[in-house]
Structure 1
């Protein structure tokens, strides 16, 4: 019974992976258009808002179905606490920008499947997606504040790049609560990605040095073996020549 339920949950995730990925892309487009084009016609603005709400509701429904299909439900919840928070917190109006990270979770989960065994591709795609989304989210949160210093997407993109790399110039920074929540999420994601990249680079360098040292040791051993073989061959030739030449110390018989 447990095995059958787990199989049903796995089957559900396989069937919905493609449609949810497409919905996540549509969600990002519908979210980004009103932000990047503030003068958009009101009808299109409302249509984009309704689309994001509807797709976000579908993401919530997907989580609920997966919860019901899993036999070990509480371990499932404990293993997906961040997913649950990202799904539930945007229901609060002041935290609606966090709804954007729901699409990020769906896309990164699918990217992980596509890029399995290709960590560089996965990290690169995740980093680009996180920067793009964080820039949109912080611009959405900051644009309406009179004290905001992030008022265009180019400034938001610059801020996201500086923040995710932990450089922190301080020329642009969020002043609203929503913007600072986005910043916290980006900082945490940036630390994880930078740590992963740094660790991977260090591992690669150590592996390359180890391989080079091993190759040099193998080459040295081969050279030594070759020299020893040549010495043995010379000794054999010398012994053979000695056997063929009569000894000078032997007296001549009259």
Structure 2
């Protein structure tokens, strides 16, 4: 059972109303940050300022949404933070916000009140989408702080993507490693997310296989040998 209290009707209406705008704002935030990191030496300062303005506007929308939901929940601030810890983390680290867009996939799947994919397939799809978004955000962050650092081995965005893939897969070749404090903190987060998402995928796939074999055993006539 979850410790999160049920949502008041007004908060549920607000969440439904804000789903699409927040998804768009998440994409705008990620795109604006990516342009500022990857094209900071190629674009004129005016375009970079526009990307910064869009990024800050998206972040402000996240803050307004959080404040409104806090108000509509009827909970005290500390209780609300405990009940919505992930939302609080995403507000503080908005680069993780695009991961919340994965929930939009669930709404698409549940049209006509019935999911088009089974539970385990949805978990694997969610984990895959989350891994891609987290990997891109992690690569951007590491590249941003590592590219100009003394003694850094991550000098291009390609190096950052390679490092992120190796870290998410928990391989850790060691040919590219972050040397800045922010880069290393990001590495810890990427490693933790990689372990969690890998466990979700492998666990769901294993459960699906067990259920599939169990259904085959139930269909087999009594007394028939396994594999018959």
Structure 1 residue 212 displacement after superposition: 3.0
Corresponding residue of 2:9:
7
Q: Is the 8 A contact 2:11 2:69 kept in 1?
A: yes
Matched, 1:36 2:34: no
Query: Does the CA contact (< 8 Å) of 1:31 and 1:48 recur in 2?
Result: yes
Task: Give the CA deviation at 1:71.
Answer: 2.0
1:107 correspondence with 2:110: no
Distance in 1 of aligned mates of 2:68 and 2:168: 34
Q: Structure 2 matches for 1:1-254, cutoff 5 A?
A: 6-39=8-41, 40-73=43-76, 74-88=78-92, 98-101=93-96, 103-115=97-109, 117=119, 118-218=122-222, 220=224
User: Is the partner of 1:220 in helix, strand or coil?
Assistant: coil
TM-score by length of 2: 0.82
The structural deviation recorded for 1:115 is 4.9
Counting matched residue pairs gives 207
Distance between the aligned counterparts of 2:211 and 2:89, measured in 1? 39
1:40-80 Cα distance to aligned partner (Å, 9 max, x none): 21111121112211211210111011001002344432122
State the shift of 1:132 in Å. Answer: 1.2
Larger radius of gyration: 1
Partner residue in 2 for 1:250:
none
In structure 2, how many angstroms separate the alpha carbons of the residues matched to 1:182 and 1:167?
A: 16
Q: Which has the higher contact order (CA 8 A, sep 6+)?
A: 2
Q: For the residues of structure 1 that align with 2:66 and 2:45, how far apart are their CA atoms?
A: 32
Q: Distance in 1 between matches of 2:215 and 2:103?
A: 34
Structure 2 equivalent of residue 241 of structure 1? none
Higher helix share: 1
Q: What are the Cα deviations for residues 108-142 of structure 1, in whole angstroms up to 9, with x where unaligned?
A: 34344445642232222111111111111111121
Unaligned runs of 5+ in 1: 89-97, 222-254
Distance 1:111 1:177 in 2: 35
Contact 1:20 1:106 in 2 (8 A): no
Give the structure 2 partner of residue 237 of structure 1: none
Aligned partners of 1:214 and 1:52: how far apart in 2? 55
Q: Who is 1:232 aligned against?
A: none
Q: Which whole-Å deviations, capped at 9, do the CAs of 1:15-57 have from their partners, x for residues lacking one? A: 1110111111111111111222232211111211122112112
